[in-house]
Amino acid sequence: MDHLKTENQYCAQNYKPLPVVLTRGEGVWLWDDKGNKYLDMMSAYSAVSHGHSNPKLVEVLTRQASRLAITSRAFHNDQLGRFLEKLCKVSGFDKALPMNTGAEAVETAIKAARRWGYRVKGIPAGQAEIIVADQNFHGRTTTIISFSSEADYKADFGPLTRGFTTVPFGDSDALEAAITPHTCAVLMEPIQGEAGIRVPPQGWLRRVRDICDRHNVLLILDEIQSGLGRTGRMFAFQHEAIKPDAITLGKALGGGLLPVSAFLARNEVMDVFNAGSHGSTFGGNPLAAAVAHESLWLLEEGRLPERSAELGAYLMDGLKEIGRDIFTDVRGRGLWVGVDLDPKFMSASALCHALMHLGILTKETHDRTIRFAPPLIIRQEEIDWALEKISSVLASVREVHSGTAAPTSPELELA
Ligand SMILES: Cc1ncc(COP(=O)(O)O)c(C=O)c1O
């Protein structure tokens, strides 16, 4: 079967994948239908921090699947309490509301913030405002895209949801100026992932915490991509030693096996939900709870946040070294590195294609930026292997650019 052709014929064209058909994964490696092996430098947008088919997670998944998988929350189950207790202890929040995808957790955060605004802060009915950042990415529901700054995310999907004010990311003065008596929350990523791993200025998050405190506004951080070790700490907010009022988590929470997300908050915020006010058929199911519990346990036991800090610094130094002339910026935190290419050499998409031919899978975000975000279990030898491959692609790019060699692949011709 021609998988690529069949998928293209029957699947909506809402993504533009690289032309590779993956059939198997193990740890940091992936294989395609022709038996070619690739290093995963993308981790399914940071969902596969524990590596593909992590044996301990697969064991928990299969054991729980054969025992009890889905109950709905019409009843209690013996996995949910145990999972959420662990999640609250790891994160320092009082309570969690389990959902499935990241976007659902963000929707939960928006509902909580608005209800808190009306019922606790006393904002007049229907007037609550939430402040968000320019170039944010929080998911794809109609409400969430309503406050995206990407025109294509929202073109002809209106009418859009009102009640959001956008300020530049990393600018605390603009944020304070945007606060009104109707502001219930600030909702932001501590580091913007899909925008290209944009790291805000040092001290920004502390200032935001202080501003929110002074104006009685909730600080809600979307840690769906930055959380659970990706940035070198369990949570990105820990880099500035602050505590938000609430966070959203997803992606790696499901151990690379299932969609599991959660909204976490202190009691005053979470208590705005009453029975019937919010829910999800699959949210909090015992299968997801068992896997997510194990996923948290493995993050701690394997010291994955610490590994991410050490190996991320190593990867970033290596990328800076090999791409000095071609990369205009290399930035990030932990094993979450964004690289901007000088467009005179080639587009980010062309470089991703060229890397694929050498056995490295990653994807561009916007025209000029490539992300390198391998599973957090990656070893230094594997990073060295990747740096060597990336370096050899860059050497070809240089030769083609300076006219000393003809392009060896159609991708390099695009340069
Ligand atoms: C920060 C952030 N929030 C929310 C989401 C949406 O998550 P999902 O695709 O699981 O709905 C993403 C996905 O990339 C994300 O990076």
- Match 């109609």 to its residue by tokens: 142
Question: pLDDT tens for residues 26-63?
Answer: 999 999 999 999 999 999 999 999 999 999 999 999 99
The mean pLDDT value for 148-176 works out to 98
pLDDT of residue 341: 96
Residue 413: is its pLDDT beyond 60? no
Cα separation, 62 vs 4, whole angstroms:
29
* 37 membership: H or E segment, kind and range: strand 37-40
**Is residue 243 annotated as part of the catalytic site, yes or no?**
no
At residue 315, the pLDDT reads 98
- Which pLDDT belongs to residue 408? 64
User: What's the distance, Cα to Cα, between the start and end of the chain in Å?
Assistant: 33
Q: Is residue 190 left, alpha or beta, with left meaning phi > 0 and alpha meaning psi from -120 to 50?
A: alpha
pLDDT tens for 243-285 read 999 999 999 999 999 999 999 999 999 999 999 999 999 999 9
Cβ contact 183:215 at 8 Å: yes
The answer to whether the CB of 297 is under 6 A from ligand 1 is no
Task: Compute the C-alpha angle 213/216/222, nearest 5°.
Answer: 70
Catalytic residue of the set 137, 147, 235, 273: 137
Give the bridge partners for 313, in sequence order.
none
- For the Cβ of 205 lying below 6 angstroms from any atom of ligand 1, the answer is no
Write down how long the chain is: 415
On whether the pTM is more than 0.85, the answer is: yes
Choice among 27-36, 66-75, 398-407 with the minimum mean pLDDT: 398-407
| Per-residue pLDDT tens digits for 76-94 | 999 999 999 999 999 999 9
What is the Å distance from ligand 1's center to 393 Cα? 31
DSSP class of residue 236 equals G
Model confidence at 410, pLDDT cuts 50, 70, 90, reads low
Q: How far apart are CA 301 and CA 282, in angstroms?
A: 28
Q: Which domains does the chain have, with CATH numbers?
A: 3-53+303-413 (3.90.1150.10), 55-301 (3.40.640.10)
Q: How confident is the model over 303-335, as pLDDT tens digits? A: 999 999 999 999 999 999 999 999 999 999 999
